[in-house]
Amino acid sequence: MIWQQVREAYPQQWVVLEAVEAHNIDNKRVFDNISVVDAMTDSLSAMKQYKVLHQKHPNREFLFASTVNDDLDVTVHEWVGIRSKAG
């Protein structure tokens, strides 16, 4: 599925998605094919479901979003690491 198909199938809902096919362009994540894992009416439930799935399947790419949004806009941030004082 693409985002517009998800929006039509699940209007005004929160959805938990799995990225089946995705790639980066500049600092944006582009989703070529997504699968709806679950749908709910509130963001807290979606976030909890996302967390469970992410912990259970850490190598798979899950996200959650509201279908009220016109676009599935995900910014990629570089992980730089953690700094700490030595000694």
User: Residues near 39 by Cβ (< 8 Å), separated by ≥ 6?
Assistant: 10, 13, 14, 15, 16
The sheet carrying 74-75 orders its strands as 62-66, 14-25, 28-40, 74-75
pTM equals 0.84
Check pLDDT > 90 for residue 85: no
* CB-neighbour burial class of residue 17 (10 A; exposed 0-12, middle 13-18, buried 19+): buried
Residue 87 — pLDDT band, cuts 50, 70, 90?
A: low
pLDDT of residue 16: 98
pLDDT digits (tens, 9 = 90+) for 5-54: 999 999 999 999 999 999 999 999 999 999 999 999 999 999 999 999 99
